[in-house]
Amino acid sequence: MSSLRLQKIERLLQKELGDILQKESRSLCNGAMVTVTIIRISPDIGFARVFVSIFAPGQSIESVHALLNANVKQIRMILGTRVRHQLRIIPELVFHVDDSLDYIEKIDKLLKS
């Protein structure tokens, strides 16, 4: 399997998951704004690590992350109905919090002081 094919699948899943989390955010994540930043797929397309950036005023990031992992079956089912004509195998999803923006802010703050 070529890496170009994996990259195309990652882009497809990122687009579709972003759309799902945007439209279903009220029921899946208690109204928090969740952005899919990176997706990494295993070579056999059976497993996908989804890195998300979470903006949740009034909620903790950990609670929204736990809510996403609790609703992973429902998210995977919605994803399967959307990409069933493009993919034969819908990968298992595991959500991780992407804290790269916080890290960039920290470095920027250190450089300015």
pLDDT tens, 48-105?
999 999 888 888 888 889 999 999 999 999 999 999 999 899 999 999 998 877 787 8
pLDDT at 30: 82
Residue 75's closest CA among 98, 103, 102, 52? 52
pLDDT of 43 above 80: yes
CB 98 within 8 A of CB 53: yes
The whole-number pLDDT of residue 32 equals 85
> What gap in Å lies between CA 15 and CA 20, rounded to an integer?
9
Q: Which residues contact 111 (CB under 8 A, 6 or more apart)?
A: none
94 token code pair = 């595991």
What is the pLDDT averaged over residues 26-32? 82
* pLDDT beyond 90 at 11: yes
Assess whether pLDDT exceeds 80 at residue 10.
Answer: yes
- Report the C-alpha gap between 18 and 20 in whole angstroms: 5
**Domains of the chain and any CATH numbers:** 3-112 (3.30.300.20)
CA distance between the termini of the chain: 48
Quote the pLDDT of residue 2: 56
pLDDT at 13: 95
